[in-house]
Amino acid sequence: MRLAAIFLLIAPCFAETKVLKGFTLIDGTGKPASASMAMTIVNGRIQSVGPTANIKTPAGAEAVDLTGKYVMPGIINLHGHVGATQDLAQGAQFYTRENVERQLRTYASYGVTTVVSLGTDLEPIFQIRDEQRAGRPHLARVYTAGRGFVAKAGYPPAGGMRYEVETPADCAADVAELAAKKVDLVKIWVDDQLGKQRKLPIELSRAIIAEAGRHGLKVAAHIYYLEDAKQLVDAGVYALAHSVRDQIVDQALIDNMYKHGVWQIATLTREISTFIYAEKPAFLDDPFFTRSVSSRVVDTVKSPQYVARLKADPDFPKYPGFLSMAKRNLKRLADAGIKIGFGTDSGPPARFQGYFEQWEMELMASAGLTPMQVITAATGNSAQFLAARDIGTLERGKWADLIVLSKNPLEDIRNTRTIEAVYIAGNAVER
């Protein structure tokens, strides 16, 4: 007790310094990995990074020997949802500070050190975010689009977490409200659920994009159809927050995305989640999955009743085709030089935070991206998407948000699961 008190008295006089040594660095820029590296972290930020032989350990610094390990930046998920899910139920009534923070802790434990909650957030998010940005968070950093936009009585149901709009005047008022809360992004849903529900009309999407632009905000769109993607890119959308899934993307869309610098986020795990539970997937017994999921939830998604309910959906047979289309389109866009961000749409029921980001990387690799492309998309590129200058890569001046791995993820992307430690702002998070 007394020692702690003395430490607290003198601690402010000294910077908190850590030196990580001996690891192979994958820095998130896309540059090849470098062996035998070291990194000095002062008060949570990277002060220097280079060959171990060149990095001195200052007196009083904490030295961490990572010989034989691999270090990559923390994963940035550009499409998640926090706060509104409890077990397999979803609703605004679950949205509390405690629930948001519990989920940000889960993300962090899987190496996801930043998450963008895309369009289903309520008041508690703003305080959490603002407190994080004023200090050194010990949970995943959160960005928010506040409440996103759907058509009146449209898809998905507003559920108290989205704005329902009918006129351009509605759009202007709601965008102004979001701007006053300093949201990081604006989200719109443009989908009719295979013709079953009301879709946000293009005039309203245009109004939202224009209003957002006036407030200096960018718009990410949930899309499904190629035609909607084309119209939205013409209207000035910043990102497609899901893959085009009705058909293969054509050259006209590719050219327009390229010209306007529009980002693509694939969310392959969202697609697989629509049918995989009917196939008794082995991951439901994988300790890497079950460590963060209650046994009640695992038992439910394994149950015949749950599977029967999935299969009762008349569109169920189509869902595997949407995944394969999403993968083909991801590969085609990546090959064309379109900017690829990283996202999963995790958070809603049965779309498991943390585990899904790990799985998404594997699915992106199975779509034909190299492990380096996948890692760069999930780190440096996604920071660039957010215009977040101090995260995403492991370079001087950035926050030390990183993952220590025991195996090389460039040899097998599944090695991103061999997590030994996760650091956020230079502190190892509890796992």
Q: Which residues bind Zn ion (CB under 5 A)?
A: 345
Closest approach, Cβ 411 to Zn ion, in A, equals 32
- Among left, alpha and beta (phi > 0; psi -120 to 50; other), residue 338 is beta
Of 184 and 345, nearer to Zn ion (C-beta) is 345
Give CA–CA dist 34/71, Å, rounded: 10
Given a contact cutoff of 8 angstroms between Cβ atoms, the answer to whether 55 and 19 are in contact is: yes
Of 101 and 345, nearer to Zn ion (C-beta) is 345
Element (H, E) at 194: none
Closest approach, Cβ 30 to Zn ion, in A, equals 27
Closest approach, Cβ 233 to Zn ion, in A, equals 19
420 by DSSP, 3-state: which? Answer: strand
Give CA–CA dist 185/217, Å, rounded: 6
Give the residues across from 346 on adjacent strands. Answer: 80
Of 345 and 357, nearer to Zn ion (C-beta) is 345
Q: Tell me which amino acid residue 417 is.
A: R
Of 27 and 345, nearer to Zn ion (C-beta) is 345
Give the residues across from 324 on adjacent strands. Answer: none
Of 52 and 273, nearer to Zn ion (C-beta) is 273
What are the percentages of helix, strand and coil residues in the chain, rounded to 5?
A: 40, 20, 40
Closest approach, Cβ 280 to Zn ion, in A, equals 26
Element (H, E) at 186: strand 186-189
Other CB atoms within a 10 A radius of the CB of residue 358 amount to 23
Closest approach, Cβ 90 to Zn ion, in A, equals 12
Longest dimension (CA), the chain: 70
Closest approach, Cβ 219 to Zn ion, in A, equals 14
Q: Which two tokens stand for residue 64?
A: 């961490």
Of 38 and 265, nearer to Zn ion (C-beta) is 265
Question: What is the secondary structure of 47-96 as a DSSP string?
Answer: EEEEEGGG----TTPEEEE-TT-EEEEPEEEEEE--SSEETTEE-GGG--
Of 117 and 393, nearer to Zn ion (C-beta) is 117
Closest approach, Cβ 19 to Zn ion, in A, equals 40
Give CA–CA dist 323/269, Å, rounded: 8
**Residue that the structure tokens 């009301």 belong to:** 198
Closest approach, Cβ 288 to Zn ion, in A, equals 23
Of 132 and 344, nearer to Zn ion (C-beta) is 344
Closest approach, Cβ 303 to Zn ion, in A, equals 25
Radius of gyration of the chain measured on its C-alpha atoms: 22
Of 63 and 89, nearer to Zn ion (C-beta) is 89
| Closest-approach residue to Zn ion (CB) | 345
